[in-house]
Chain A
Amino acid sequence: MAHAYEELLSFDVSALGEKLKAKAISPVELTEAYLDRIQRTDAKLRAYITVTADLARKSARKAEHEIVAGKWRGPFHGIPIGLKDLCYTKGIATTGGSKILGAFKPAHDCTVWTRLARAGAILLGKLNLHEFAYGITSSNPHWGFVRNPYNLERIPGGSSGGSAAAIVARSAAATIGTDTGGSIRIPAALCGCVGLKPTWSRVSRYGVLPLAYTMDHVGPITRSVRDAALMLNVIAGHDRNDSTSSRERVSDYTEKLDSPIAGMKIGIVRELTDNLSPDVQKSFDNAALQLRALGAAVDEVTIPSLPLSGVINGIVTWAEATEIHRQWMATQPQDYGDDVRRLLEVGMMIPAGAYVRAQRARARVLAEAMDALGDRDVLIAPGAAVAAPRIGESRRFDSDGGGIDVLAGILRFTQPFDVTGQPAIAIPTGLSADSLPLSMQIIGRPFAEATVLQVASAYEKARGALPAPPLIQEG
């Protein structure tokens, strides 16, 4: 029997916003639907670290009063969302997925939450992640292993694993993630939802626990491309509390979502087309065909230095994370999970010269990426080489006995665009033979999020809906 709230939970933010504005649904009822959903799914999923039920109900009543009084604030007014637990929330536990910050309650909000709260969003809670965002499995030793809604024995990806799992399990209408080596796009790819890493500096990092200052991006994880655009409309823009945030003009990111892509030029990144699983290869080829069918000209491009992006991303992240964690590593190293502590120990061995060289090399990779774009509008690549690995799986062997490091095989698709800081979106392309989500990335010029979203939206409409995960079908 279908649950009473199922229909409410089936709408994306775009549809909910219209219904809330028209007073066809109530923020109070909607929030109760999401809290009920969390209650029913999260023991299995472990997407949440903290559920802020009382605050959510209070905010929902306030939103209802305002909307009834004709004071509708916009598409996020009355929308229940979740924040990755790296995002500061005043007076609410912000753990970073760690034991070290298990009791930490910030004295202020991060800018992203300040803007979403001002837009009328309702906070359902704080979402689980890989400890301190330093890893891509979200197998968190302190707060539980986050599970993939399509298969509970598989990882959701990470580090924003809870943010993507909650979207796909329908236990949040929209969420915030962060991306330093792929932590928005990887979980979106493995869980089957949309993850947008905006241009570096497009969204303020103020009040977001850093992993690597010069490589951290904050962005939306959502059910649809339109939702990602709506969320970016709220969170993008200069922030005086983040001196690195850009003063580049913020456009209406929904403006081009219904524009055709016929005549646009799209380049497939050659360096990211090898060593794909057969399912990924087939799904990506079909996506490229679909883009051609929509009238885009698709050809192949090359970014020769791209294979060194993993080294650049690794060295910069190692060095910066080690500085950020220096004090805790000196006083309580035993409180880190083994994998994160080891990464921080490696970081302590990175010479200053290697760090500076890696930073300089970023300009080389970006220059080549811009050359590859040339007169093209966007680039495309698979979201990952494989579908979601099993929890604990680190190597995968083929029939010839050859093996690949599955986690490195996932990271190499996303790290390059953290190195270059370009906007990149992960969007589902279908399901594998094992019924696991597969994904494509669309990458644009710096600050050309609107174009990336335009192509993603056209593809999403042509692709049609994906089958829901078993967790939803079971109710």
Chain B
Amino acid sequence: MPLVTPETVKRTLKDLYDYDIDESSASRVANTAGAMLTLAEQLGSLGLDGIEPPFGYANLMTEAMRKAAKR
């Protein structure tokens, strides 16, 4: 199981999000995140070779055109 410690949680939230969290909350978050990351490792066993992320260039263009038109 990937080790996520309360200290990691506290430092990550402070350094990356400028956000403080108390010790007991950090422990709960660390446990949940650690368990989830362990399960996330299992996703690799599904045989994802050759599967692209569901990114659509058409949507990217449409979003860009929509924003450009509003300028």
Contacts and interface: CB of A to CB of B under 8 A. Distances in A.
Interface string A450-472: 00000000000000000000000
B66 A243 contact: yes
A364 interface: yes
Contacts of A350: 33, 36-37
Q: Determine the interface band of chain A, counting residues with CB < 8 A from chain B.
A: 20 to 34
Interface in A184-214: 214
A360 B29 contact: no
Given A346-B29, A354-B40, A326 B66 contact: no
B3 interface: no
* Secondary structure call for the B interface: helix
Contacts of A348: 12-13, 16-17, 19
A305 B48 CA distance: 12
Interface string B9-34: 10011001111010001001110110
A315 B36 contact: yes
A349 B48 contact: no
Contact of A345 (B16, B29, B36, B56): B29
A356 interface: yes
Contacts of A358: 40, 43
Nearest to A314: B36
Contacts of B16: 348
Interface in A316-364: 318, 326, 329-330, 333, 342, 345-346, 348-351, 354, 356-364
Contacts of A361: 43, 46, 48, 51
A349 B42 contact: no
Given A243-B63, A360-B52, A364-B48, A308 B37 contact: no
A345 B16 CA distance: 12
Interface of B: 4, 8-9, 12-13, 16-19, 21, 25, 28-30, 32-33, 36-37, 39-40, 42-44, 46-48, 51-54, 56, 59, 62-63, 66
A312 interface: yes
A303 to B, nearest CB: 12
A348 B4 CA distance: 12
7 contacts: A214-B54, A243-B59, A311-B42, A312-B43, A315-B36, A360-B53, A363-B51
Contacts of A345: 9, 13, 21, 25, 29
A244 interface: yes
Given A342-B25, A342-B28, A357-B48, A243 B62 contact: yes
